[in-house]
Structure 1
Amino acid sequence: MSKKKMKLRSACISVLSVLSLAIACNSPVQNAAARTPGFDDPVKATVAPLIYDTLSANARSIIAQLDEYYRGQVRAGFNGAVLVGVKGKVVYERYFGVSNREKKMPVAFNSSSQLASISKTFTGAAILYLYEHKMLNIDYPVQHYIKDFPYSGISLRMLLNHRSGLPDYTKWVPVYNKDTRTPITNEAVVGLMVKHKPRVEFRPNTRFKYCNTNFALLARVIEVVSKMSYAEFMNKHIFAPLGMTNTFVYEPWKGLPGNATISYKYNWVREPDMFADGVTGDKGIYSTVQDMFRWDQSLYNSTLLSNEMIELSYGPCSFEKPGIKNYGLGWRMLCYPNGNKVIYHNGWWHGNNTSFYRLIKENMTIIVLGNRFNKAIYRQAPVIYGIVKGVEATGFDDEG
């Protein structure tokens, strides 16, 4: 090993040691209760407050570097919230800009932002929750649950890992539904599929293609199986039990609560609702960085799902194309030859750009939620990782 590499390795070990010592002094965020077996009795978790670590001088230096980095990001147009956690402890949490520019309301700890496609991680988990409770089987065809579904040979698993071949509803719905402003429901999307049967893009389970239709259909399956709306199910069985008090599914006909952020274009023009805003599962969940960290830690603690279900959602890596990028069951993944994994998802809907990265081996979490259009958000996670680890940043940036 070269002297340069030895010095870099030593620096990384030093930084991680500082963080490890800092976080050892405090207990992690707890989701203490064990999972309950009954579907009708959601898991109840004891949620401890998120507490900052008492950091050493070296760790404070890392925080100062992150602050300096975000001063530059704000100058470049970033508006939103950031949280970094290591081994269950919050080591960096900042709020920048405004949640509602017209009312001059700042982004705060309880400012709920549209997660966009990060919502898919919750939809996937909800399907696996129902699977674990024997309410459905992910290898059954969609037609088993949605009786009029006009395509055969497509299983729930193929929806989860984007191997269905279905076309994206955000592109074909306007062809058949000329009113593109009024929000429609998941049930309405299914109805349009039954009536018009838009052409599939490839034979099911022959290749991967990311498609929002898959998770809109999964949300509809959740409604059919649970006999609840998607919003009701997610609140009862996921958000409330995990103490995610500022997380909810957006229902346009009910409007946004006062603490929700407004979606802005890059020039601060509001993004109006349109037909797809009533469709959930692929997007539509609002949350905060604190609540997302609770979601992250519940996965480490197997609070909601068993470890078996969590591992199922992470792989095995499909290696759809040469390289490390893959998709599990509701999660994007970076699968490295040495067995390490980065489990993540990004999002982009209207003016909202979002990133949620989970470095499993290191128990490191990076959450960035922005409510003003800014594609630079997708490049922030690797930079944050590089600053905390003391290494040169490497890219992992998909937009949805």
Structure 2
Amino acid sequence: MKFIQNILILLFLSFAVLSCKKDNPNNPENIKTDLPNYGNIDLDDIFQRKDNRLENKDSIVSVIKNYYENVWEKGDLWGGFLVAKGDKILYEGYRGFAQDNNQEPITEDVPLHVASVSKTLTAMAMLKLVEGGLAKLDDPVTKFFPNFPYPKVTIFTLLSQRSGLPKYEYFIEKIQPQPAELSKKFLTNQDILNMLIRYKPDLSRDTDTGFMYCNTNYALLALIIEKISKIPFPEAMQQIVFRPLKMKNTYIFQVKDTATAAKSFYQRGPKLYPYDRLDEIYGDKNVYTTPRDLLNFSKAMFAKNFLQHDLYQKIFEPYSNEKPGINNYGLGFRMKIFDNNEKLTYHNGWWHGTNSVFGHLLKSNVTIIAIGNKYSRRIYSALALSGLFENFPYETEKFNKEMNQTDSLKTSTGKDSVDSYSE
């Protein structure tokens, strides 16, 4: 009799677990979508044991710990920091607060704004739609918005920052008389598109003649993703990227989130950085995520089935070669190409009081993530840790310089001592 009772209890518990699993909306197995998505990736089966192996691990972790203590703790940086080799976290730290008056301590589960690192996620969602045959890289924007006044601009030139389009944050200020849209408290992506169509501002440079970093490109990509998916961009990103990759604390910020979303702060005070009318525009920014969620995304990008091979290869191809130098841009990724042919792939971010770094090191399977919500350019120094893992002499030099300056965090001008890092 007792045996039968035990069997019944086991059956009940199994049913309960399965029911919970079935009802959990963040469970990738239960994501219902007709959109191409990253649900085919098993995050637990990307790396082999050798991929996680690191020579001199103890000494490298000691250096990273020393960096965090000297730069983050002594510099009173707020936010989240993580370095991983393969799927093994080598070091992580969290400090500061997400809300005003020292409310809500930042932990591994508190989403922070990653600013322009959002571009990388937007780009990968767009590429997944291309892989699924719902768009082509050479599709002109006019295919989706027939009245768009720049016929040579394509999905590719948006992704690679070669469209030549004017920056929305500047061109809207020059329109006279002032457009009705500018009387709104918050502008939308559609407002930006409408003003481009109505006022036809001059291109900042001829399309596909060179690199020009421009938020307009990625605001338009978000609209194209909406057009193709037939759902709002925040939900499209959930279905294509966030839920399949178990990024359970990640979302696209909207005005409805202003009360609960983590805030950004001025360095001094710290004083709260207020929202402005550009804060609801997404695609170029407005991904709120955590270092651990972003690590899931980075891990997925190391997977062989992240994208079909020929499309994946295009992500890290340098497309802006007109001007010699180490800096270049692929599809949603910045890169530094050194004289020794080594390539550092990453993206930085800055918006209001937010500074962020996302380093995705191709050879060493290393991920470097730094998200700060109290303005400081010193956040960008995290990328220099890449020199611990791959042959990036320039980054190693910057790292040594940074560590030698930890006793003097400010220059005589009152600015951050590290001026060579930028978004």
Q: TM-score under structure 1 normalisation?
A: 0.82
1:137 Cα deviation after fit: 1.2
1:363 Cα deviation after fit: 1.1
Find the counterpart in structure 1 of residue 248 from structure 2: 245
Query: 365, 368, 373: which is aligned to 1:366?
Result: 368
Distance in 2, Cα, partners of 1:173 & 1:281: 18
Secondary structure in structure 1 of the residue aligned to 2:298? helix
AA partner of residue 199 (structure 1): D
Q: Is the 8 A contact 1:120 1:215 kept in 2?
A: yes
Distance in 2, Cα, partners of 1:181 & 1:69: 44
Secondary structure in structure 2 of the residue aligned to 1:183? coil
1:130 equivalenced with 2:129 (yes/no):
yes
Find the counterpart in structure 2 of residue 231 from structure 1: 234
AA partner of residue 241 (structure 2): I
Q: Is the 8 A contact 1:343 1:358 kept in 2?
A: yes
Once the two structures are overlaid, the 10-residue window that deviates more, 220-229 or 145-154, is 145-154
Find the counterpart in structure 1 of residue 192 from structure 2: 189
Distance in 2, Cα, partners of 1:290 & 1:361: 21
Cα distance, 1:338–1:388 mapped onto 2, change above 3 Å: closer
1:79 Cα deviation after fit: 1.1
Question: 1:1-400 maps to which residues of 2 (within 5 A)?
Answer: 39=35, 43-48=39-44, 59-73=57-71, 74-175=73-174, 176-177=178-179, 179=182, 182-255=185-258, 257=260, 260-267=261-268, 268-382=270-384, 384-386=385-387, 393-395=396-398, 399-400=422-423
Once the two structures are overlaid, the 10-residue window that deviates more, 369-378 or 87-96, is 87-96
1:63 Cα deviation after fit: 2.8
Cα distance, 1:164–1:213 mapped onto 2, change above 3 Å: same
Cα distance, 1:163–1:293 mapped onto 2, change above 3 Å: same
1:261 Cα deviation after fit: 2.3
Q: Is the 8 A contact 2:153 2:207 kept in 1?
A: yes
AA partner of residue 307 (structure 2): L
User: Over the residues paired in the alignment, what is the CA RMSD in angstroms?
Assistant: 3.0
AA partner of residue 148 (structure 2): F
Secondary structure in structure 1 of the residue aligned to 2:292? helix
Count of matched residue pairs: 362
Cα distance, 1:131–1:398 mapped onto 2, change above 3 Å: farther
Secondary structure in structure 2 of the residue aligned to 1:286? strand
Cα distance, 1:87–1:48 mapped onto 2, change above 3 Å: closer
Once the two structures are overlaid, the 10-residue window that deviates more, 345-354 or 192-201, is 192-201
1:237 Cα deviation after fit: 1.0
Q: Is the 8 A contact 2:348 2:358 kept in 1?
A: yes
1:364 Cα deviation after fit: 1.4
**Cα-to-partner distance string for 1:23-65 (whole Å, 9 max, x where unaligned):** xxxxxxxxx99xx99636762555559xxx9999963443333
Distance in 2, Cα, partners of 1:38 & 1:227: 11
Distance in 2, Cα, partners of 1:263 & 1:286: 12
Distance in 2, Cα, partners of 1:183 & 1:83: 33
Distance in 2, Cα, partners of 1:140 & 1:56: 43
1:346 Cα deviation after fit: 0.1
Cα distance, 1:377–1:41 mapped onto 2, change above 3 Å: closer
1:77 Cα deviation after fit: 3.0
Find the counterpart in structure 2 of residue 28 from structure 1: none
Distance in 2, Cα, partners of 1:56 & 1:185: 46
Secondary structure in structure 1 of the residue aligned to 2:273? coil
**Cα-to-partner distance string for 1:297-355 (whole Å, 9 max, x where unaligned):** 10001454233322111114532421221100111012235443211000000100000
**Cα-to-partner distance string for 1:142-164 (whole Å, 9 max, x where unaligned):** 11111221222111111111111
**Cα-to-partner distance string for 1:115-139 (whole Å, 9 max, x where unaligned):** 1000000111111111111101110
The runs of 5 or more residues in structure 2 that have no matched partner are 1-27, 46-50, 400-419
Q: Is the 8 A contact 2:84 2:91 kept in 1?
A: yes
Distance in 1, Cα, partners of 2:56 & 2:132: 47
Q: TM-score under structure 2 normalisation?
A: 0.78
